[in-house]
């Protein structure tokens, strides 16, 4: 049995992770941590506020973190120092911070981070990287629920990075002579315009729109339910112990 600690246990993603893990035959949630729900029992898991003592008591093999950009760093540092592998879905952490965290980890522990655990989103990013080789003019529209803490999304930033790695040249960004409302042309990430939409009713969605002579190509992915992320999270829980150091992106655990 893989013993799993879930940080952000009471959150939208954390509660879905507890449900998914406890439905599997080869893993179980032994620790749930969430500061706003001390002592509560959520889906059979008693919620603690102190990750360090919960790790000492329950000896989890893997911590899964879906919390907040301002909380994840301390959680990861605590887990890695105790030799617990980390599967991180929380977005908004700079790459340099992840590298520093992984450097401080004991030899065989792994810090696995995925900006998006949905298989369809990983494919969207892969297809966008391919398309960028032939269609360098591209913009990203990412759409999320209105409680999301960070913008642009981790998926949009990762997509922009993949586009930057693959397109043969960076076309001159078409500005506009008169920006009547500031920010109308979006934010620039790796030279790609990114537009962030935040609305109730949305879960996690992204369109990557390429433009060429007389044509456009739109690649779109929609997570319409948080269950879409769970096969990727379960895969990461099973695989993380086979790796060490920093590993970024679900594609690193998927067959080519
Ligand atoms: P959420 O519903 O706000 O859940 C976050 C939970 O973490 C809250 O219950 C929060 O408590 C708790 N928390 C805050 N500080 C904590 C700490 N130090 N230790 C333990 N728990 C703590 O947010 P969500 O929608 O689940 O999203 C969580 C993160 O996952 C976000 O960064 C989001 O972008 C990311 N995400 C990633 C993916 C992916 O595929 N990688 C998919 C979806 C979401 P309070 O409410 O009291 O602060």
In tens, the pLDDT along 123-143 reads 999 999 999 999 999 999 999
> Which pLDDT score, from 0 to 100, does residue 175 have?
67
pLDDT digits (tens, 9 = 90+) for 11-29: 999 999 999 999 999 999 9
- Let me know if 242 is a catalytic residue: no
Q: Whose CA is nearest to atom 42 of ligand 1?
A: 116
Please identify, by atom number, the ligand 1 atom nearest to the C-alpha of residue 118.
40
Residue 234 has pLDDT above 90, yes or no: yes
Domain boundaries, given as residue ranges, for the chain: 2-113+226-252, 119-223
**For a substitution probing ligand 1, which of 45, 48, 68, 69 has the most ligand atoms within 8 Å of its CB?**
68
Q: What is the mean pLDDT of the chain?
A: 95
41 Cα to the center of ligand 1, angstroms: 18
Residue 39 has pLDDT above 80, yes or no: yes
The gap between the terminal CA atoms of the chain, to the nearest Å, is 28
Please identify, by atom number, the ligand 1 atom nearest to the C-alpha of residue 92.
32
150 Cα to the center of ligand 1, angstroms: 11
Q: Choosing from 144, 195, 205, 221, which is the catalytic residue?
A: 144
Does the fold of domain 119-223 match that of domain 2-113+226-252? Answer: no
214 Cα to the center of ligand 1, angstroms: 43
Residue 40 has pLDDT above 70, yes or no: yes
What topology is assigned to 2-113+226-252 in CATH?
Rossmann fold (3.40.50)
pLDDT digits (tens, 9 = 90+) for 142-171: 999 999 999 999 999 999 999 999 999 999
**For a substitution probing ligand 1, which of 32, 35, 120 has the most ligand atoms within 8 Å of its CB?**
35
The pocket around ligand 1, CB under 6 angstroms, is made up of 7-8, 10-14, 33-36, 66-68, 71, 75, 89-92, 114-117, 148-149, 204, 229
* Banded model confidence at residue 178, pLDDT cuts 50, 70, 90: confident
**Stretch among 155-169, 177-191, 204-218 having the lowest mean pLDDT:** 177-191
> Which pLDDT score, from 0 to 100, does residue 256 have?
74
Arch. (CATH architecture) of 119-223: 2-Layer Sandwich (3.30)
Query: What is the pTM assigned to this prediction?
Result: 0.93
> Which pLDDT score, from 0 to 100, does residue 177 have?
79
Query: In the chain, pLDDT over 90 holds for what percent of residues?
Result: 91
177 Cα to the center of ligand 1, angstroms: 40
Q: Whose CA is nearest to atom 14 of ligand 1?
A: 67
């Amino acid at each position: 049995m893989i013993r799993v600690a879930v940080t952000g246990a009471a959150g939208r993603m954390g509660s879905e992770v507890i449900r998914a893990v406890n439905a599997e035959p080869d893993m179980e949630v032994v620790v749930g941590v969430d500061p706003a729900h001390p002592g509560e029992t959520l889906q059979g898991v008693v919620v603690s506020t102190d990750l360090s003592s919960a790790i000492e008591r329950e000896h989890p093999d893997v911590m899964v973190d879906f919390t907040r950009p301002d909380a994840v760093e301390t959680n990861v540092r605590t887990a890695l120092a105790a030799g617990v592998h980390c599967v991180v879905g929380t977005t908004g952490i700079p790459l340099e911070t992840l590298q520093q965290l992984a450097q401080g980890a004991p030899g065989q522990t792994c810090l696995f981070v995925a900006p998006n655990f949905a298989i369809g989103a990983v494919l969207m990013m892969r297809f966008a990287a391919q398309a960028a080789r032939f269609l360098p003019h591209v913009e990203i529209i990412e759409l999320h629920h209105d409680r999301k803490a960070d913008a642009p999304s981790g998926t949009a930033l990762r997509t922009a990075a993949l586009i930057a790695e693959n397109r043969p040249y960076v076309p001159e960004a078409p500005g506009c002579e008169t920006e009547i409302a500031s920010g109308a042309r979006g934010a620039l990430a790796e030279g790609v315009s990114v537009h962030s939409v935040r609305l109730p009713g949305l879960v996690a969605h992204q369109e990557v729109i390429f433009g060429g002579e007389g044509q456009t190509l739109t690649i779109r992915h929609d997570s319409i339910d948080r269950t879409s992320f769970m096969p990727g999270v379960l895969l990461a829980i099973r695989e993380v112990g086979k790796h060490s150091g920093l590993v970024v992106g679900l594609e690193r655990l998927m067959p080519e």
